[in-house]
């Protein structure tokens, strides 16, 4: 049997994790000087309270090599092989640390997702399905590596307050965006996060334009599944996005998940993305 593991940043729901028996290694969330573990003893709602109500600083930190060794160790004895899909190497030292930890064992394969949130979650689910179908570890690795460049991950951010707090934009940029009602899209391109199109107007209307831009007249999209991922958007807004997607394309699955602490820390509560795979060229 093959065990699939991932970093907590893959943002898969508890139901999906349980269905496929996927285990997560938790990143650290630092609130002032206090250290928490993503999804274990802190949630995005906690972060929003600390930042918005208590005005505390919030950041994230990678899993270190020792922690990965302790995480992997029980599974190395129970399973023929472990395939760990990490947060993209450009976003964190998690991938490097997981690779170093894997050197202490003989049956661990670490794959760089070159992505974050359910962009890596798409790969994790695919690996779990292949494992359930009886593919070997090497076959799974090859198939996942072929899909890494075809993941399309992006988000639209309503307000830039959290980006400003994290030093990812200046106070002037954040003020200008608020004044002009600009909602930037953040895209993962070649394993790095970049600012994409900037939408103007209310968040709901910006999301409508965003979904249209992402899906309209596309013939290169894998229709097996798409994620709608957000930290804390209203249910009615998420349902509106789901309806917009259904108008554009008929996906086999539309999966709605809450973004974990990493996206929440850097982007804030009103952030929403659609994440899917392109067909392999």
pTM of the model: 0.92
The Cβ-side half-sphere exposure at 98, using a 13 Å CA radius, reads 29
Element holding 217 (H helix, E strand): none
**How far, in Å, CA of 264 to CA of 273, rounded?**
12
CA distances from 151 to 116, 180, 213, 215, 218 (A): 10, 31, 16, 14, 14
DSSP E strands, 104-238: 108-112, 151-152, 154-157, 182-189, 192-200, 221-230
Position 159 scores a pLDDT of 73
Closest CA to 210 of 202, 235, 174, 13: 202
**C-beta of residue 144 within 8 angstroms of C-beta of residue 123:** yes
Successive 10-residue mean pLDDT values, the chain, 281 residues:
97 97 96 91 90 86 97 96 97 97 97 97 98 97 98 89 48 38 85 88 94 96 97 96 97 96 83 95 69
Question: φ and ψ at 252, to 5 degrees?
Answer: -65, -40
Domains of the chain (ranges; CATH) run 2-27+62-148 (3.40.50.10440), 153-278 (3.30.1180.10)
CA gyration radius for the chain? 18
Residues 126/281/152/249 CA torsion (nearest 10 deg)? -90
Tokens for 129, please give them: 């399905």
Tokens for 210, please give them: 């965003």
Closest CA to 91 of 174, 165, 188, 159: 188
Position 174 scores a pLDDT of 37
| C-alpha 249: how far from chain center | 22
């Amino acid at each position: 049997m093959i065990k699939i593991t991932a970093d907590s940043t893959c943002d898969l729901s508890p139901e999906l994790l349980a269905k496929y028996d996927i285990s997560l290694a938790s990143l650290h969330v630092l609130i002032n000087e206090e250290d928490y573990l993503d999804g274990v003893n802190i949630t995005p709602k906690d972060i929003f309270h600390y930042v918005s109500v208590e005005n505390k600083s919030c950041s994230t930190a990678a899993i270190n090599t020792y922690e990965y060794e302790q995480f992997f160790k029980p599974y190395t004895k129970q399973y023929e092989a472990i395939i760990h899909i990490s947060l993209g190497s450009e976003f964190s030292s998690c991938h490097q640390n997981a690779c170093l930890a894997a050197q202490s064992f003989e049956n661990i394969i670490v794959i760089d997702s070159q992505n974050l949130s359910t962009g890596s979650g798409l790969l994790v689910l695919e690996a779990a399905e292949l494992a359930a179908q009886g593919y070997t570890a090497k076959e799974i690795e090859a198939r996942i590596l072929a899909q890494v460049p075809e993941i399309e991950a992006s988000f639209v951010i309503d307000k830039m307050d959290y980006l400003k707090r994290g030093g990812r934009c200046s106070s002037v940029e954040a003020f200008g965006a608020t004044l002009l009602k600009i909602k930037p899209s953040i895209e993962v391109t070649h394993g790095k996060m970049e600012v994409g199109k900037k939408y103007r107007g209310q968040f709901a209307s910006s999301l409508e334009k965003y979904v249209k831009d992402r899906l309209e007249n596309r013939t290169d999209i894998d229709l097996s599944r798409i994620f709608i991922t957000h930290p804390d958007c209203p249910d009615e807004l998420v349902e509106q996005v789901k309806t917009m997607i259904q108008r554009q394309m008929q996906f086999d699955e539309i999966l709605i998940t809450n973004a974990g602490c990493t996206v929440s820390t850097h982007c804030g509560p009103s952030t929403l993305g659609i994440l899917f795979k392109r067909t392999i060229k």
